[in-house]
């Protein structure tokens, strides 16, 4: 018998509904409750789901609320980040 570990299964991203309209970075920022520049920066590095329109410095980002909601729920349901975990040391 061979003991193989199952490959990590990535949840497939759902496509936005055909009737859902993309929103601006400002609306996405309001939904996520972070600054607009943070939204575009995070989308630019691929940390949050976003759709670039155009090229270069003046590219515009569009977002689907359903994708942002799914991403946000995955962040809440995932294991705690290392930043939030204490080192276990007591402060005297």
Lowest-confidence region among 24-33, 46-55, 61-70, 78-87: 78-87
Residue 87 to residue 83: CA distance in whole angstroms: 10
**Position 51 pLDDT exceeds 90:** yes
Mean pLDDT of 45-64: 93
> Alpha helices of 1-92 — where are they, by DSSP H?
25-32, 36-44, 65-77
Cβ(42)–Cβ(48) below 8 Å: yes
């Amino acid at each position: 018998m061979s003991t193989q570990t199952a490959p990590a299964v990535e949840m497939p991203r759902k496509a936005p509904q055909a009737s859902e309209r993309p929103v601006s970075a400002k609306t996405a920022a309001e939904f996520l409750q972070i600054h607009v520049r943070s939204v575009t920066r995070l989308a630019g590095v691929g940390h949050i789901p976003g759709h670039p329109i155009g090229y270069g410095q003046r590219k515009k980002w569009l977002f689907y609320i359903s994708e942002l909601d799914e991403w946000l729920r995955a962040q809440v349901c995932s294991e705690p980040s290392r930043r939030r975990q204490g080192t276990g040391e007591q402060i005297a």
